Amino acid sequence: MRKVVITGMGVISPIGNNINTFWEQLVNGTCGIDFIQSIPVENLPVKIAAEVKNFHPEEYEISNAFTRRNDLFSIYALAAAYQAMKDSQLEIEPEKLGVYIGSGVGGIKTFVKEAIKMHDEGVQWISPLFIPTMIANIAAGNVAITHHAEGPCLPVVTACATSTHAIGEAYRCIKHGYADAIIAGGTEAAIEPLTIGGFANCKALTKSDNPLAASLPFDRRRAGFVLGEGSGILILEEYERAKARGAKIYAEVCGYGNTCDAYHVTAPKPDGSAASKAMKLALQEAQWNDNDLLYINAHGTGTPLNDAAETAAIKMALGEEKARKALISSSKSMTGHTLGAAGAMELIVSALTLYYSMVTPTIGWQEPDEQCDLDYVPNKARKADVSIAISNSLGFGGHNGCVALRKI
């Protein structure tokens, strides 16, 4: 089997629109959550979110014509992929390059706009670009077109586990020889009244009116997640090829687990057993051993059920003693929950944790919870020579994903 490494990364996020800024803000514990600016909120039950700020598509060589004709989730993906390809300096035959970019929601802004247009003006005024702008696979299609990627293209849709699964499947694709490099990750731009109302009405969102005390993973006061947006993209490449061309290597992708709770459409399985199995699969494939210092980028949404179930899953996967030695943090305390983009952003965090030997914090943590009693690296980044990292994602529908990285 072939070895797979990360040779490039790009991000559009609530705390920075390039990798250096994103990492600096994470290490400093900067909160990207604030009162919503992009849409009217007067009639909404939730008025805070983690929005992307100061985003200018032209900085990523995205034309005005593309921006006018495409949904924001596609634009974010193109911007993050541009950064990742530039970072990687990858040159490759088109048929050996793939694209695995997913979205949990897809072009919801386009969907809402065209639905209103049909209601107000009639079906004849629906844009002919409505379908190819709205469908969830089109971000991958647009990135493939832009970078002439003629290899396998597999947009994954597994709710909040989307981009973790996309990257895991891309890893397997390269490992087994179906491609030499893949542009992989996720993208989301779902801050809309319709989605906020939907998530709020199913009791998933916090109704806190304090942006700095809203996303509270593993804290006893946690009361729901904060909706975020953005895109995370990684370049996965076959190791020998990357080594031969002198590529910068952030980390090795070395394990992947994919399971389903088969329990409930929104609630996680309380005992964490299926999520635990995904972690075990990833760690076994990564050949995790007693000499490794493990970092876990938790799914850590800040919902009461998720954080308790994930803590139980970590203990079940590692055993109580080793679980207490692991360093765990939730990036969502700073970025909010970016849905289908979350896993990719958090794998970027995991890769940089290995690269810089620095664990980013879970900010806002104040009150311990007896159900969440592990080391969540509260409030302040911690220097640590981490040798292996896993990133967890748990999505509506019971989808569990875990990808393992190892320091090179």
The tens digit of pLDDT for each residue in 92-108 reads: 999 999 999 999 999 99
Residue 61: its pLDDT value, please? 98
- Alpha-carbon distance of 15 to 200, in angstroms, equals 23
Whether residue 259 is found in the same domain as residue 380: yes
Residue 280 lies in a domain: yes
Residue 86 lies in a domain: yes
Whether residue 232 is found in the same domain as residue 379: no
Residue 398 lies in a domain: yes
Residue from 337, 372, 399, 402 carrying the catalytic annotation:
337
Which of 184, 216, 244 is where one domain is finished?
Answer: 244
Q: How many domains does the chain have?
A: 2
Burial classification of residue 41, based on how many CB atoms lie within 10 Å of its CB (0-12 exposed, 13-18 middle, 19 or more buried): middle
Whether residue 200 is found in the same domain as residue 272: no
Q: What is the DSSP letter of 16?
A: B
Residue 260 lies in a domain: yes
Residue 304 lies in a domain: yes
Whether residue 361 is found in the same domain as residue 310: yes
Whether residue 313 is found in the same domain as residue 202: no
Max Cα-Cα span within the chain? 66
Are 172 and 281 a contacting pair, CB within 8 Å? Answer: no
Are 159 and 186 a contacting pair, CB within 8 Å? Answer: no
Whether residue 178 is found in the same domain as residue 287: no
Whether residue 146 is found in the same domain as residue 240: yes
299 flagged as catalytic: yes
Whether residue 299 is found in the same domain as residue 194: no
Residue 203 lies in a domain: yes
Nearest CA to 354 among 315, 405, 393? 405
Residue 44: its pLDDT value, please? 96
260 flagged as catalytic: no
Nearest CA to 211 among 335, 297, 41? 335
Residue from 299, 372, 399, 402 carrying the catalytic annotation:
299
Residue from 160, 173, 254, 372 carrying the catalytic annotation:
160
Q: Residue 143: helix, strand or coil by DSSP?
A: helix
Residue 91: its pLDDT value, please? 97
Q: What is the pLDDT along the chain (408 residues), one digit of tens a residue?
A: 899 999 999 999 999 999 999 999 999 999 999 999 999 999 999 999 999 999 999 999 999 999 999 999 999 999 999 999 999 999 999 999 999 999 999 999 999 999 999 999 999 999 999 999 999 999 999 999 999 999 999 999 999 999 999 999 999 999 999 999 999 999 999 999 999 999 999 999 999 999 999 999 999 999 999 999 999 999 999 999 999 999 999 999 999 999 999 999 999 999 999 999 999 999 999 999 999 999 999 999 999 999 999 999 999 999 999 999 999 999 999 999 999 999 999 999 999 999 999 999 999 999 999 999 999 999 999 999 999 999 999 999 999 999 999 999
Residue 272 lies in a domain: yes
Residue 273: its pLDDT value, please? 96
Which of 244, 278, 298 is where one domain is finished?
Answer: 244
User: Would you state the structure tokens that stand for residue 386, as one six-digit string?
Assistant: 């981490």
Whether residue 203 is found in the same domain as residue 58: yes
Residue 1: its pLDDT value, please? 85
Which of 244, 263, 293 is where one domain is finished?
Answer: 244
Residue 382 φ/ψ, nearest 5 degrees: -135, 125
Whether residue 54 is found in the same domain as residue 81: yes
Residue 249 lies in a domain: no
* Domain around 325: 254-406
Whether residue 204 is found in the same domain as residue 283: no
Residue 146: its pLDDT value, please? 98
User: Residue 122 belongs to a domain with what CATH number?
Assistant: 3.40.47.10
Residue 256 φ/ψ, nearest 5 degrees: -155, 130
Whether residue 155 is found in the same domain as residue 50: yes
